Amino acid sequence: MKKEMRKKYILEYAKKYFSSRGYYETHIEDIISDAKIGKGTFYRYFKNKEELFISLLVEFLNEWEDFVFKDLLSIPPANYREFMHTLVFKSLTFFRTYEDLCNIYLRIAPGLSTIFGPYINSFEDKMLGHFKNVIEDGRAKGYMRDNLDLEFCSNVIAGAFLRIDYYYFVLRYKNDTSLNVHVLADRLIDVLIGGLGSAEWRSMTSQLENSPADPQR
């Protein structure tokens, strides 16, 4: 259907501009001129600039859940370690793959809270919810320390994730093409196990401690 294609087109260019320039420095003019459509046409697809931006926030949300959790939850990994690895790896890959969308969500949108606050909160809640489930699940299986505050820990995980994303994929990525997502994933798991894992699990993986930080996969 041609109409849908056109909308996708608009979203594509909007993404590019919002990500690189921010909300207010992106003008409808920029987008429609790249998308080669008229100004009036744009307003047939989106009520206004806000709605366009919100579409991208929603897209981010959907893509994220899809990419990171869809398979992970429907086809559960063999064991918790595998689960953790998949989660971490998929998350980092997502950040790298959907660079613009993540940029918009993580860097651009938070500064616009008055209008877009609800959408940010929605992602926050979902993300933390998923992390809480992961921790609870891990706890039930004895992999996670049970003396830790659930909300606090899910925030630590979120912080680590988002920061790694921001640093390696937003700020530095362009300068360091040697970056290997697997390496980052392993490092992150290593630290998370140390920080949140039970003594039992830690000991199971303690050989890591004296081996190179970036083990072969």
Residues 177-196 contacting its own copies, CB under 8 A: 184, 187-188, 190-196
Single residue of 121, 129, 141, 180 touching its own copies by CB under 8 A = 121
Residues in contact with DNA, counted by CB under 7 A, come to a total of 21
Binding window for DNA (CB under 7 A); candidates: 38-46, 76-84, 105-113, 149-157: 38-46
DSSP of the chain, one letter per residue?
A: -HHHHHHHHHHHHHHHHHHHH-STT--HHHHHHHHT--HHHHHHH-SSHHHHHHHHHHHHHHHHIIIIIIHHHHS--SSHHHHHHHHHHHHHHHHHHTHHHHHIIIIIGGGGHHHHHHHHHHHHHHHHHHHHHHHHHHHHTT-B-SSS-HHHHHHHHHHHHHHHIIIIIIISGGG-TT--HHHHHHHHHHHHHHHHB-HHHHHHTTHHHHS-SS---
82 binding its own copies? (CB under 8 A): no
Cβ proximity to DNA: between 11 and 88 the closer is 11
Single residue of 12, 50, 125, 214 touching DNA by CB under 7 A = 50
Q: CA of 113: how far to CAs of 23, 124, 176, in Å?
A: 12, 13, 32
Residues 8-27 contacting its own copies, CB under 8 A: 20-25
72 binding partner (options its own copies, DNA, none; Cβ < 5 to 8 Å by kind): none
Cβ proximity to its own copies: between 9 and 156 the closer is 156
Q: How far is the CB of 122 from DNA (least distance, A)?
A: 22
56 binding its own copies? (CB under 8 A): no
C-beta neighbour count of 130 within 10 angstroms? 21
Binding window for DNA (CB under 7 A); candidates: 14-22, 29-37, 65-73, 114-122: 29-37
Binding site for its own copies (CB under 8 A): 20-25, 107-114, 121, 124, 145, 147-149, 152-153, 155-156, 158-164, 166-168, 171, 184, 187-188, 190-197, 199, 202, 206, 208-214
